Amino acid sequence: MNKMLRNMNPWIEEHAGFKTYAVLLLLVMAIAYKYQVWRLGIYYDDWEGVLLYKLGYTPVQIWNYFLIDRPFSSGLHILLNPILGAAPIGWHVLALLLNWGAIIFLLKTILHFLPTRTLEAGWIGLLLGVYPGMQRQFVVHTSAPHYTSMFLFALSIYLMVRAIDGHRHRNILLILSVLFAAAQMLFIEYFTGLELIRPLIIFLAYKKTGKTNAQALKSSLLMYIPFAVVFGGFLYYKLEFLPMIQLDRKGAKHQIELFDALRQNPVGTSLQYAQLVIQDALHATFYAWTLPIALPEINLQSKSFIASWIVGAIIAAISLMFIAGWQKKTRTEGQDVIQTRVVVLLAIVAFLLGGLPAWIIDRQALQGIWGDRFLFGQIFGAVPLTVLGIIWLTGQDRRKVQNLVFAILLTGAISLQMRTANKYALTWDLERSYFWQLKWRVPSLKENAFILSPYTPFEKNSAYQIAYAINIMYAPVNGREQLPVWWFDGPSGIIDQKLKQYVQRPIRVNFRSLTFKSDMTHALPVIHREGRGCLQVLDPIYEGEPLLNEQERLLFPVTNAGLVTTGERPMPTDVFGPEPPHDWCYYFQRADLAREFKQWDEVIRLWEEAGQKNLQAGYGPEYLPFIEAFAELGDWDSAGQLTLRSNDMTQNMAPLLCRNWERIAQNTADSPEKRTAQELIRSTIVCQP
């Protein structure tokens, strides 16, 4: 490895430059985030964009869906959904390119003012590219507005600086810069605060052209006028106009709470918001870089853990050689026009302005599972501050030490993002298994039916997001805003908290512009715990099965017949991927479906096909459909033998098996074979008479 790196070093030094750096940055980001892109899927609010596309909503309906907070973000869905479709891979490529492009234009702006600081700029770009405090490259559909605004903001700043520098297409660049500034704020407000740093950049750009302070100030004021108009227009739109056109003012999201809170309690509110800022500052500049070595993350027995660090170290070593070579070639080129203390000041201001949109609505990066999205604006200042802080601590001229420290940080960041990618891939495997098993067992649902679960079966999704996935599976493509099916996490929204049970009641959901209406007679209880067995649509025949927890047992009183129908709508494979190989769970789901419709020959056919593949259950209750089918068709010996196998497989099966044998006996004709089998079961399993 060392020999290979030494052989690469002369080539790297010869070809080091901004263009090759841009390629290096893209490759680093692609490896860190997308090395398993074909295994990455749909998570979190990705589902809303997929739902809006797959159910055939019109542009007006999509606008109304987002009217509650960011109606102009609907434009991205309207434009991109027909181009990229529902498959995740296109959105992953888009998010990667937008993120990469934003960093490239940011670095070009930095190097415009600091042409000799390629070491600092190079490491800022790489560390921004794989920043360990954010995981938004894995939820790409819902993050498309964020990355689009990030790209447009960086591009707008760069075009503005080039125009001030005297580009021959100056007016065109300025017009584009103003338009991009407006667009990035309208798509999503995360970079709106950073617009306030624009006057400082304009002033420095004019200073670079040789103007005096007075001349630069005058020119800056004139140059900033169109941007000030755009910024003021956005504030009016956000604070005054948008609330007037929102369909449901009470449901409007992301309301600014700071000013009312200051009026009511100025001291307490000031301290509270100061705490938000300080916590986010420490998190963004320091704590985020410790995440790769967080104690729960360390697993030396994991091959993927070790591999991620090895890959990270190799990439960091190559990056170190590249930046060192680039620094040698550029340290005498041009002249820096900004002093270090001014750069530090700009970074601090950028961090504060970048966090402003979150803080004024009383949010921060440390709050909630998805709080890292509030770092989008902050990292424009936080990462430069981290880089400048390390340079100050190590000494300005100690380039080798600085490069080594930055390479270590890059190694950890790449390792963490690769491990995160693996976790998301595994989560998508669980999601696909859940949805495909459900589709095998429930080909279609009666209108107004809803899946009732005692928990959320996998991470990185909440109840309404899974409900969107269920509608993508079962709802017709007709653009109706009243959805025909839903999914609920029962303990979180349906159960009577006082009685600790499910009671008959109307069910109403109003989420953005979408609605769902039903009642408890349309509840279809479904349970699934990974590692215990297959997904189960609960039926009275399973009541009393072992290994169920209290929340699962509470679902049996609300089981309803007739909600599952067989008019199957094809599974959208562009969303859920190709049908998985037919494992045991496929045969169990299909057999349980056939049992529900008393198609006993089909159950036995499935049993025989599973046997030909040497497939068998890992959880005793999953043999019940086959036991009943054998009994219904008069093969009592097979029914008895399979019952004994089920009893041996899982502890405490006797009550469930005995109760089902009693039920089956009541529904089948008497015969000597039946009596023999019954006696065998009673004596072996010890059923109470």
Over the stretch 442-459, which tens digit does the pLDDT of each residue have? 999 999 999 999 999 988
Q: What is the pLDDT of residue 336?
A: 64
Q: What residues have CB less than 8 Å from 379, skipping those under 6 apart?
A: 128, 131, 133, 134, 284, 354
| CA atoms lying within 13 Å on the CB side of residue 61 | 15
Over the stretch 127-179, which tens digit does the pLDDT of each residue have? 999 999 999 999 999 999 999 999 999 999 999 999 998 877 889 999 999 99
Query: Going from the N-terminus, what domains does the chain have, and what CATH number goes with each?
Result: 2-425 (no CATH), 442-578 (no CATH), 581-689 (1.25.40)
Two tokens, residue 401: 């030490």
Q: What is the pLDDT of residue 269?
A: 77
Over the stretch 347-393, which tens digit does the pLDDT of each residue have? 999 999 999 998 888 888 887 778 899 999 999 999 999 999 999 99
- Alpha-carbon span 477 to 55, nearest angstrom: 4
Over the stretch 288-329, which tens digit does the pLDDT of each residue have? 999 999 888 888 888 999 999 999 999 999 999 999 888 887
pTM to 2 decimal places: 0.92
Q: What residues have CB less than 8 Å from 567, skipping those under 6 apart?
A: 443, 444
- Alpha-carbon span 161 to 551, nearest angstrom: 61
In the predicted model, is pLDDT for residue 256 greater than 80?
no
Sign of CA dihedral 621, 623, 624, 625: positive
Chain-centre distance for alpha carbon 149: 18
Task: Find the helix or strand (DSSP H, E) in which 526 lies.
Answer: strand 523-527
- 572-579 own/partner pairs: CB under 8 Å, 24+ apart: 572/54, 572/86, 572/472, 572/473, 574/85, 574/86, 574/87, 575/42, 575/50, 575/54, 575/86, 575/87, 575/469, 575/472, 576/432, 576/435, 576/436, 576/473, 577/41, 577/432, 579/436
Over the stretch 57-99, which tens digit does the pLDDT of each residue have? 999 999 999 998 899 999 999 999 999 999 999 999 999 999 9
Q: Which of 432, 337, 323 is nearest to 112 (CA)?
A: 337
Two tokens, residue 548: 């169920």
| Percentage of the chain exceeding pLDDT 70 | 95
Q: What is the pLDDT of residue 3?
A: 59
In the predicted model, is pLDDT for residue 337 greater than 70?
no
Q: What residues have CB less than 8 Å from 237, skipping those under 6 apart?
A: 186
Interhelix angle for 654-666 vs 672-681, to 10°? 160
Q: What is the pLDDT of residue 339?
A: 79
Over the stretch 390-421, which tens digit does the pLDDT of each residue have? 999 988 778 899 999 999 999 999 999 999 99
Q: What is the pLDDT of residue 566?
A: 87
Q: What residues have CB less than 8 Å from 204, skipping those under 6 apart?
A: 113, 337, 338, 342
Q: What is the pLDDT of residue 382?
A: 96
Two tokens, residue 497: 């908290």
Q: What is the pLDDT of residue 340?
A: 81
- Alpha-carbon span 594 to 606, nearest angstrom: 10
In the predicted model, is pLDDT for residue 225 greater than 80?
yes
- Alpha-carbon span 377 to 388, nearest angstrom: 18
Over the stretch 514-553, which tens digit does the pLDDT of each residue have? 999 999 999 999 999 988 999 999 999 999 999 999 999 9
Two tokens, residue 645: 């196998």
